[in-house]
Amino acid sequence: MAKYRSIDLFAGIGGIRLGFDNAFGKDIETVFVSEWDEFAQKTYKTNFNDEFDIAGDITQIQEKDIPDFDICLAGFPCQAFSMAGKHGGFEDDYHGRCRGTLFLDVVRICDHHKPKVIFCENVKGLTIHDKGRTFKVIKEAFEQIGYTVFSEILNSKDFGVPQNRERIYLVCFRNDIAPKNFTFPKGSGKSVCIRDILDEAPISPKYYLSDVYMETLRQHRARHEAKGHGFGYEIRDLDGIAGTIVCGGMGRERNLIVDHREHSMTPVTHIKGEINKEDIRKMTPREWARLQGFPDSYKLELSDTHLYKQFGNSVTVNVIEAIARQIYNVLE
């Protein structure tokens, strides 16, 4: 029997769980998982051998129907608070569903079960959304049900992955076991660059952009620069780090690289024009997985479109693991 039972809410593809599993080892057991996206569910099931089914929409699940647990993992949806989005917050509407209030389901479930720890991850923009009032509401909601809340903004680039990704992490201890202080990890001290996470050559020509598409990107960038905007593609230095990977819009184009290693110039997909002769390409889904600290043993079986979205939406496993080790030390 594991010492601690956990539940994984808004589970995505299991990045938070992976970090806790790495930190706690055999002392943790996941007893319940909820994720409403069917494609994320498929990737999750492929990589975790749970004997129970993944539950869907958490708003439709009664708290009493969830098994008892000690640790709640909850990467509740961040789009409503993202600086890249519409800043909808608690007014956010997505297919008739308010993503901004989904944290209340975490509160509802944890108020019923009173776990030892609640762990949440979200975008940095959560702290400044609505002049800080949104974050204050979330923090006070956890305090009202009996938890001491610690929070910190950490950057993935400090934890052994070459990605500039700032996120806010909340660690809530039940008041009766809460420490006076909780020390968040400072980083691993390990410096990694994009070159360190590249796939072995040759890379499929499907990842190399066409010359026609490159010209479209250049024109798009020029239009925005003329208006004083900063939007456009970016080519990253292989000895540098990637920008924050995101699931939509220019996500892949903001992290292009030049890869001069040998590759085929014969297209394997339908493209306009020819493969560009400057060797500019997108990173592969496996490279994105490495940017997020997922091990190479993590199976990627869906189409690239789904995988880019899933890793853009996911968390950096290294950061989660480092925080989880600190939580484990407090619990022990």
Active site residue 78: yes
Give me Rg for the CA atoms of the chain: 21
What is the b/e burial string over 309-331, where b = at least 16 CB atoms within 10 angstroms of the residue's CB? Answer: bbbbbbbbbbbbbbbbebbbebb
Q: Nearest 5 degrees, angle CA 56-CA 62-CA 64?
A: 125
8 Å CB contact between 257 and 244: no
- 3-class secondary structure, 290: helix
- Whole-number Å distance between alpha carbons of 327 and 311: 25
The C-alpha atoms of residue 104 and residue 177 are separated, in whole angstroms, by 23
Instruction: Choose the catalytic residue: 78, 110, 120, 172.
Output: 78
Tokens standing for residue 286: 């496996």
Residues 6+ apart with CB under 8 A from 37: 12
Q: Cα 44 from chain centroid?
A: 14
Which residues, including other chains, have CB under 8 Å from residue 49's CB and lie 6 or more apart?
Answer: none
The Cα 73–Cα 276 span in angstroms is: 44
Q: Answer whether 315's CB lies under 8 Å from 75's CB.
A: yes
Which residues are the active-site residues? 78
